[in-house]
Amino acid sequence: MAGGSPPRRIILTGFSGTGKTTVARALARRLGWHWVDTDDLVVAHDGRYIHQIFQESGEEYFRGLERMALRQATSPEGWVVATGGGAVLRPENRRLLAERGLVVCLEASPETIHQRLRAEQDRNPAVRPLLQAEDPLARIRELKAFRQPYYRLCDWTVDTDGRTADEVAAEVQRVWETQAAALWSRRGRPAWFESEPAASEQESPYADHGEPAAVVRTPAAEYPVYVGWGILESLGHRLKAAGLAGAAWVVSDASVAARYGGRVRAVLERAGFQTDLYAVPPGDASKSLETAAALFDWLAARRAERRDAVVALGGGMVTDLGGFVAATYLRGLPLVHVPTSLLGMVDAAIGGKVAVNHREAKNLIGAFYQPWLVLCDVALLATLSPRELTSGWAEAIKHALILDPDLLDLLEREAEAVARLDRDLATRVIARSAALKAAVVSEDEREAGRRTILNYGHTVGHALEAATGYEALLHGEAVAVGMAAVGEIGVRLGVTPPALRERQDALLRRFGLPLRAPGVDPERVLAAMALDKKVSGKAIRWVLLEEAGRPVIRDDVPPELAADVVRLVTAAG
């Protein structure tokens, strides 16, 4: 099965109420394909509704009809197939689906599923067995937890909370058009063909979450960093294990809140936390004192107490802003980071640097304030735009260049697979990158020494962001250009071997990251650099590379050399 491209079939699975039928219809329309629901085929063949078949003939009889329907639906190409929520429970069905097309799981929180099923039954009085239970929501949670290990075997997962059918269909279409061949080529993995998922996966919703990828230990705090695929449901459990109770005030941006806000609140409320959510506009412009003041007002109106937690749900902007608010309201509330961007997972959420921007420079007003825990669910990255995902790899590449030649080798060997978010490789790279950041922070919490090396590429990168009003470039894009700039500076000073500079730039290109920022005013960049936090005694402290894994801090870079390189990387053409 390895190699080549998959047949022109997309098979949608997932729990009842995740929107398989409506998404199949919307996706087929976008692709110009046909669509079919296997439950409709069962009903057409038998003449009874699904609940009647279960009641009158039993589940085994239904599963036999379902098997026949799956074979029929997955025979022609150019079709989107919506399957029943329990189809993946049978190993013979999993084998069939894996052979016939790309298998995508649609995900939603139990609360969303319950709400959707209620609304559907109000429109159509056909009996929904799940809603006949004494406690329907509890039954949905129980059954979904049992099936989750099977759903995790799919090629891709798309979250449907807070999204329209067309938005979900667009995401599935993007995966089909950009990653189907790569996903198909890794089909050598045995999971789909095993008779059952590992027993440990069925014992507990948290059994596969394991130990933290890293533990940050500083004089101010000690906390775990969890990295895994599909671990968001463990958030409430992790907060309680960390000793938190009371309320959990979620800070997010509007885009992330629409996608994950309801799901995160539901997870927290199931664990006994009172919750509410404040969403700010997306973009670095929200990382301001004015936005922080609005958040202070929000917390005050809810009578937030010192035992309450602030949960920063989002990318680097949200981790910085939420952290700044947590650090300063009531002289400090417990902080929990749930990064939803790659940048947040490998960098911004780890280390306790929280800040807001000033009109003169990025992160000019802030503090060192460590969180109680960090939870990185790598599966959340699947919903990022290609540009956002690409941007985040800059920080992982930076960590490899300055700290870990073995990670650098891995990124070079598997660049394409990592960049397209291969589940195993991406999780491995993110966990390792997080561990590297955690180790440096543990050694130097307040950037008095070794932690300065983490600013590799950031002197020019932050200045590029400030010079463009934090709008034209994403952070990772600016850092990539910054790394190209310091690579050039290092070569001109005789510090960085030209071969290492070329190796760095080639890897950045393979990940789709820029080496230049044409059209940016170099004088504005130079003015922003003068306000950089790394300036000491009016001299900029530059992080350069002597070799992979061996950074050096220099404060003797001639200003005219730095200016010449800034003009080089911002030159048009």
Catalytic residue among 451, 501, 533, 534: 451
Contact residues for 393 (Cβ-Cβ < 8 A; gap 6+)? 342, 418, 419, 476, 511, 513
What region, left, alpha or beta, does residue 263 occupy, with left being phi > 0 and alpha being psi -120 to 50 degrees?
Answer: alpha
Annotation marks residue 114 as catalytic: no
pLDDT value at residue 233: 86
Catalytic residue among 111, 447, 465, 488: 447
CB 122 within 8 A of CB 136: no
pLDDT value at residue 360: 75
Say if pTM beats, i.e. exceeds, 0.75: no
Give the model confidence (pLDDT) of 463-493 as tens digits. Answer: 999 899 878 899 999 999 999 999 999 999 9
83-97, 344-358, 480-494, 498-512, range with the lowest pLDDT: 83-97
Q: Residue 202: pLDDT band by 50, 70, 90 thresholds? A: very low
Q: Residue 152: pLDDT band by 50, 70, 90 thresholds? A: confident
Catalytic residue among 462, 501, 533, 534: 462
Token pair belonging to 123: 């429109």
Catalytic residue among 60, 123, 134, 331: 331
Annotation marks residue 458 as catalytic: yes
Give the model confidence (pLDDT) of 5-35 as tens digits. Answer: 788 999 999 998 999 999 999 999 999 999 9
Catalytic residue among 337, 458, 533, 534: 458
| Identity of the highest mean pLDDT range in 342-351, 484-493, 520-529 | 484-493
With CA atoms as reference, report the closest residue to 70 among 106, 49, 94, 102.
94
Give the model confidence (pLDDT) of 273-306 as tens digits. Answer: 999 999 999 988 899 999 999 999 999 999 999 9
Q: Residue 193: pLDDT band by 50, 70, 90 thresholds? A: very low
Annotation marks residue 209 as catalytic: no
Q: Residue 183 and residue 187: Cα distance in Å, rounded?
A: 7
Annotation marks residue 353 as catalytic: yes
Catalytic residue among 114, 437, 501, 533: 437
Catalytic residue among 395, 465, 477, 488: 395
Catalytic residue among 209, 263, 432, 475: 475
Question: What are the Cα distances from residue 390, in Å, to 108, 156, 237, 348, 416?
Answer: 26, 18, 31, 16, 11
In DSSP terms, 535 is beta-bridged to 540
**Residue 150 CB neighbour total at 10 angstroms:** 24
pLDDT value at residue 3: 53
Annotation marks residue 331 as catalytic: yes
pLDDT at 377 over 50: yes
pLDDT at 407 over 90: yes
Annotation marks residue 451 as catalytic: yes
138-152, 272-286, 420-434, range with the lowest pLDDT: 138-152
pLDDT value at residue 209: 42
* Average pLDDT score over residue span 348-363: 86
Pairing of strands 309-314, 247-253: parallel
Q: Residue 194: pLDDT band by 50, 70, 90 thresholds? A: very low
Annotation marks residue 263 as catalytic: no
pLDDT at 190 over 60: no
